[in-house]
C-alpha cells in the first residue's frame, strides 16, 4: 500500500484546560479531497491549526504523519516545507510587509529547506503571474502590504494564489467559503479545483454544504465534539444539509 499523504491517529489536543480534539482519526490518500463538516465550535478550525503548528494548542495524545513523517515534531515552517498549507479562514493583515516580498521569502525558504535553489527574480515573477492568472489578481493587489485593505474575497483569492505558487501536497482549507459572495466563491473554487491532481490531497473544512457543490469531495466526514463521528461519500453532505447536525450529535454520545 502506498503511504497516505496525511494520517491522523487518535489525536487529542487542548487549549489551557479545555480538551478540544478528542481522538481524531483520519487518513487521506494521495489525490483525494476530504471534507470535514461540523457545526461551529466542534473543533474543526482547531484541527487545522494543530496541523499547521500553531503554538496555542497542547497535543496530549496521538500522532500525525505527513508522507510517513512525524508532522507534530516539526516547526510550522518545516511543516510548510514538508508540503502542508493552511488556507486561513481569516487571512492575517501585515502592514509593512510587501506582498511580493512575502511571497518570494516563502517560496525561496521552502525551496531552500528542500535543497532546491532559490528562484531568480524573473523566474519568480513568472511563477506569480502563472499562479494568479485564473484568480483575477491584478498587479495592484500584489503591490500592497500583505492582505492590508484587501476585501474578504481578495483575501481568499490571495490565499489560493499562495497555494498555487507554493504547490503544497496537503492543502487544508479552513472555511474558505466564509465571507464570499457567489461570484467570488466560483473564482476561488475554480482556483482550488485547478490544483487538484493525483499527488495532492486536500482537507476542506466547512460549515455549509454549498462549497462542496463547487469543490466536490471524494469523502465527507462529520465532525462533532472533537472527533469524526461519521464518514461517507459526497451525498453525506447533502444529507447533513437536509437534516442538520443533531442526529450526529447523538451518534457521538
Partner 1 sequence: MRQAQQIRLSAAEETLIAQLKGAGADSTAERISVAGLPTRRVESYHYTDLKTLLRTVPPLAEAANAAEAPALRIAGAYQLTIVNGRLQAAPSAPAGVVVGTAAGDVLSPRDDVLVHINSALAPESLNLHIDGVIEQVIHIDRRSDGPAAHSASAVKIFVAESAKVTIIETFLGSNEAHVGNHATFLAVGTGAEVTHITVDLSARAATHFASNQYEIGPAANLRTLAIHAGAALSRTQLFARFSGEGAHADFTGLNLVDDGKHCDITLDVNHAVPNTTSKEMFKQIARGRSKAVFQGRIVVSRDAQKTDAKMMMQGLMLSDEAEILSKPELEIYADDVVCGHGSTCGELDADWLFYLMSRGIPRTEAETMLVRGFLAEVLDPIKDEALSTVLNGIVDGWLLNGK
215 binds partner 1 (CB under 8 A): no
Q: Is 224 helix (H, G, I), strand (E, B) or coil?
A: strand
Question: Any alpha helices (H) in the chain, and if so which ranges?
Answer: 44-52, 76-81, 99-113, 121-132, 139-143, 152-166, 182-194, 210-214, 235-243, 246-252
Stretch that binds partner 1, among 75-83, 133-141, 179-187, 201-209 (CB under 8 A): 75-83
Query: How many Cα atoms within 13 Å fall on the side-chain side of residue 249?
Result: 8
Judged by CB under 8 A, the chain residues 126 through 155 that form the site for partner 1 are 145
- Considering the rule CB under 8 A, would residue 106 count as an interface residue with partner 1? yes
Phi, psi (deg, nearest 5) at residue 40: -55, 140
- Applying CB under 8 A, the span of 87-95, 128-136, 189-197, 232-240 interacting with partner 1 comes to 87-95
What track of x and - describes contact with partner 1 for positions 152 through 181 (by CB under 8 A)?
A: ----------x---x---------------
Q: Is 105 in the site for partner 1 (CB under 8 A)?
A: yes
For partner 1, give the closer residue by CB, 205 or 240.
205
Residue 175 in contact with residue 207, Cβ under 8 Å?
A: yes
Report d(CA 28, CA 35) in Å as an integer.
10
Q: Is 16 in the site for partner 1 (CB under 8 A)?
A: no
Q: Which of 12, 22, 21 is nearest to 60 (CA)?
A: 12
Contact track, partner 1, 26-65, x by CB under 8 A = --------------------------xxxx----------
Confirm or reject binding of residue 122 to partner 1 (CB under 8 A): no
100 touches partner 1 (CB under 8 A): no
102 touches partner 1 (CB under 8 A): yes
- Stretches 9-17, 103-111, 150-158, 203-211: which one binds partner 1 (CB under 8 A)? 103-111
Q: How far is the CB of 128 from partner 1 (least distance, A)?
A: 14
- Helix and strand counts by DSSP (H, E) for the chain: 10, 12
In terms of Cβ atoms closer than 10 Å to its own Cβ (0-12, 13-18, 19+), residue 233 is exposed
Burial class (CB in 10 A: 0-12, 13-18, 19+), 79: buried
Whole-number CA gyration radius for the chain: 18
Interaction between residue 79 and partner 1 (CB under 8 A): yes
Strand partners, 164: none
Interaction of residue 92 with partner 1, rule CB under 8 A: yes
* Least Å from the CB of residue 221 to partner 1: 23
Residues that bind partner 1 (CB under 8 A): 52-55, 75-77, 79-81, 85-86, 88, 91-92, 94-97, 101-102, 105-107, 109-110, 113, 145, 162, 166
Amino acid at each position: 500500500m502506498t503511504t497516505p499523504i496525511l494520517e491522523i491517529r487518535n489525536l487529542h489536543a487542548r487549549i489551557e484546560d479545555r480538551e478540544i480534539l478528542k481522538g481524531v482519526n483520519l487518513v487521506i490518500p494521495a489525490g483525494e479531497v476530504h471534507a470535514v463538516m461540523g457545526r461551529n465550535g466542534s473543533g474543526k478550525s482547531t484541527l487545522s491549526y494543530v496541523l499547521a503548528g500553531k503554538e496555542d494548542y497542547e497535543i496530549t495524545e496521538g500522532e500525525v504523519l505527513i508522507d510517513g513523517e512525524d508532522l507534530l515534531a516539526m516547526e510550522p515552517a518545516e511543516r510548510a516545507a514538508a508540503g502542508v498549507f493552511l488556507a486561513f479562514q481569516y487571512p492575517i493583515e501585515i502592514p509593512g510587509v510587501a506582498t511580493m516580498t512575502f511571497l518570494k521569502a516563502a517560496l525561496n525558504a521552502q525551496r531552500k529547506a528542500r535543497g532546491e535553489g532559490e528562484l531568480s527574480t524573473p523566474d519568480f515573477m513568472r511563477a506569480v503571474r502563472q499562479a494568479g492568472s485564473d484568480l483575477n489578481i491584478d498587479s495592484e493587489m500584489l503591490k500592497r502590504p500583505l492582505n492590508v485593505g484587501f476585501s474578504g474575497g481578495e483575501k481568499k483569492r490571495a490565499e489560493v494564489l499562495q497555494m498555487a505558487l507554493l504547490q503544497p501536497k496537503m492543502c487544508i482549507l479552513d472555511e474558505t467559503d466564509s465571507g464570499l459572495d457567489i461570484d467570488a466563491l466560483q473564482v476561488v473554487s475554480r482556483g482550488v479545483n485547478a490544483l487538484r491532481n493525483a499527488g495532492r490531497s486536500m482537507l476542506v473544512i466547512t460549515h455549509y454544504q454549498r462549497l462542496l457543490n463547487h469543490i466536490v469531495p471524494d469523502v465527507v466526514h462529520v465532525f462533532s465534539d472533537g472527533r469524526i463521528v461519521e464518514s461517507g461519500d459526497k451525498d453525506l453532505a447533502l444529507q447533513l444539509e437536509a437534516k442538520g447536525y443533531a442526529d450526529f450529535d447523538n451518534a457521538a454520545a
